Amino acid sequence: MAKEIFEAFEGQQDMLGFSQATKVGDTIYVAGTVGIGEGLYIPDSMAEQMELAYRTVAETLAHFSATMSDVVEQRVYVTNIDEASAALEVRKAAYGGKHLPASSMVEVSKLALPQLKFEVAVVARLDA
């Protein structure tokens, strides 16, 4: 079965050691995605980081002609589970508020950069 790789920017694999997403058959695996905006802007709030991260996930899925409604699983990593729980509506809104994917949320001591509070990785199925 053929494997298709997507890099968020040219040279991502060489620079960071992973691709943004991999598609195998009808399944798309999106790497852990954080809430970093244009110019490497990182918002202070968990909710804003979530919005940016989900927007990036949606853009990544679009490369494969998929949408957030095709997501069947998400894994969420946060630095403060109480703050993440308070921003639950942002997570729901990313999926249109219904037909939410299976999900896990884990509190971690830190993410790739000290300002980051949220990271999400998803699996999507084009036949979902």
pLDDT tens for the chain, residues 1 to 128: 788 877 766 665 666 666 789 999 999 999 999 998 888 899 999 999 999 999 999 999 999 999 999 999 999 999 999 999 999 999 999 999 888 999 999 999 999 999 999 999 999 999 86
Sequential DSSP letters for 35-91: ---GGG---SSHHHHHHHHHHHHHHHHHHTT--GGGEEEEEEEES-HHHHHHTHHHH
Residues in the chain: 128
Sorted by where each starts, the structural domains of the chain and their CATH numbers stand as: 3-125 (3.30.1330.40)
Which strands form 27-34's sheet, in the order they lie side by side? 3-6, 21-24, 27-34, 118-125, 71-78, 102-107
Question: Quick check: pTM over 0.85?
Answer: yes
